[in-house]
């Protein structure tokens, strides 16, 4: 059965010295580049638009990492609620501009009917979750 990995992560409350724990979702996505755009894609990600990072954080995405192997991109996303974040970003003009801009490089995300929002890869194993 598919399940996004939920991890217990300490979250700082900012200026307040106390720390509380909350569940976050960590999930992996797979997308593929259009042939010949590999270098241009990496140049675009040398510094992602700061306003995009702001709207992603406001939507509940606390981190997003991308690895590339040839044309294949593997994303690791940490979010409070990825499906809610995707829904919020769908109507955000900054994210819409970014998605339009990136469409010249990316064929699209692989679809997984078992995954969160139909895109996440199936979680198989995490070393830190194995207790014995």
For the annotated catalytic residues, the residue numbers are: 45
Closest CA to 42 of 76, 73, 83: 73
**How many whole angstroms from its chain centre is CA 55?**
13
Q: Would you state the pLDDT for residue 7?
A: 47
Question: For residue 120, is pLDDT > 90?
Answer: no
Least confident of 5-14, 57-66, 117-126: 5-14
Question: For residue 8, is pLDDT > 60?
Answer: no
Q: How far apart are CA 82 and CA 101, in angstroms?
A: 22
Q: Would you state the pLDDT for residue 23?
A: 67
The pTM score is 0.78
Least confident of 23-27, 29-33, 60-64, 97-101: 23-27
User: pLDDT tens for residues 36-70?
Assistant: 999 999 999 999 999 999 999 999 999 999 999 99
**Is the Cβ–Cβ distance between 125 and 34 less than 8 Å?**
no
* Rounded mean pLDDT, 4-30: 59
Q: Would you state the pLDDT for residue 10?
A: 44
User: pLDDT tens for residues 86-112?
Assistant: 999 999 999 999 999 999 999 988 887
Residue ranges with strand state E in 13-109? 19-33, 61-69, 72-79, 106-109
């Amino acid at each position: 059965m598919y399940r996004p990995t939920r991890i217990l992560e300490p979250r700082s409350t900012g200026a307040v010295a106390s720390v509380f724990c909350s569940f976050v979702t960590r999930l992996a996505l797979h997308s593929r580049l259009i042939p010949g755009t590999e270098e241009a894609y990496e140049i675009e990600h040398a510094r992602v638009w700061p306003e995009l990072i702001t709207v992603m954080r406001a939507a509940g995405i606390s981190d997003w990492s991308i690895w590339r192997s040839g044309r294949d991109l593997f994303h690791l996303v940490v979010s409070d609620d990825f499906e809610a974040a995707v829904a919020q970003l769908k109507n955000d003009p900054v994210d819409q501009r970014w998605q339009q801009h990136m469409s010249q490089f990316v064929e699209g995300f692989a679809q997984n009917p078992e995954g969160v929002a139909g895109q996440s890869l199936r979680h198989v194993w995490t070393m830190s979750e194995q207790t014995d």
